[in-house]
Amino acid sequence: MESTSFHSFLTQEVSQDSSRIERPGPAFEELCQLFPLQKIKNRAHHEVALKIVTKVSEFVNDQKIEREMKKQILNYLEALGLLIEVYEKENFAAELEKISGAQVLEFLMEQQDLKQGDLAKELGSQSIVSEILSGKRKLNSKQIRALSKRFGVSPACFYHA
């Protein structure tokens, strides 16, 4: 289909309906130029997507930015996060079943540069954190709820074998 006829088609068929949809804005569009929102097809694409989420999240947390720009960035991160989730479910589901709650906790601690003592409040004490990480103790439901809240992840992350 020729681009002018495609544009005409879209203009006639969709423009009235799309006028009610909020436009993403320049920050969102700039991020789409960096990493277009499309299906993640392979591990390399996935790694770049994760790197972008990390770097953009750090920027949002470290910088004072205007409310509208922050909203656009968070909308982009949400959309990219959904694409990452789809890829991970399709490609890592079997691997995820083998990961323990302690391994998830260890990963999250490493990502946020936390020490065992930093989680004493959520888990009870530094020694309990140590026992959980070494596999001597399992996370209980109260601890899982606290960790889920602290890290902003689903409690299901910690309920593996």
Q: Is residue 39 located within the same domain as residue 76? A: yes
Structure confidence at residue 161 (pLDDT): 46
Structure confidence at residue 45 (pLDDT): 92
Looking up residue 152, the CATH number of its domain turns out to be: 1.10.260.40
Cβ 115 vs Cβ 157: under 8 Å = no
Q: Is residue 87 located within the same domain as residue 29? A: yes
Residue 148 lies in a domain: yes
Domain end position, chosen among 44, 61, 96: 96
Structure confidence at residue 154 (pLDDT): 80
Domain end position, chosen among 73, 96, 119: 96
Q: How many CB atoms lie within 10 A of CB 147?
A: 23
Tokens read off for 153? 């992840």
State pTM to two decimals. Answer: 0.53
Residue 1 lies in a domain: no
State the total domains in the chain: 2
Q: Is residue 106 located within the same domain as residue 81? A: no
Q: Is residue 92 located within the same domain as residue 109? A: no
Tell me which residue of 104, 115, 113 sits closest to 138, measured CA to CA.
104
Q: Is residue 36 located within the same domain as residue 60? A: yes
Task: Quote the domain boundaries for residue 84.
Answer: 22-96
Q: Is residue 70 located within the same domain as residue 88? A: yes
Residue 9 lies in a domain: no
Q: Is residue 78 located within the same domain as residue 108? A: no
Residue 14 lies in a domain: no
Q: Is residue 87 located within the same domain as residue 116? A: no
Tokens read off for 87? 């890829």
Q: How many CB atoms lie within 10 A of CB 37?
A: 14
Cα separation, 156 vs 125, in Å, equals 23
Structure confidence at residue 1 (pLDDT): 45
Q: Is residue 122 located within the same domain as residue 143? A: yes
Residue type, 124: G
pLDDT block averages, 10 residues each, the chain of length 161: 64 64 84 92 91 86 85 90 88 72 89 90 90 90 88 79 46
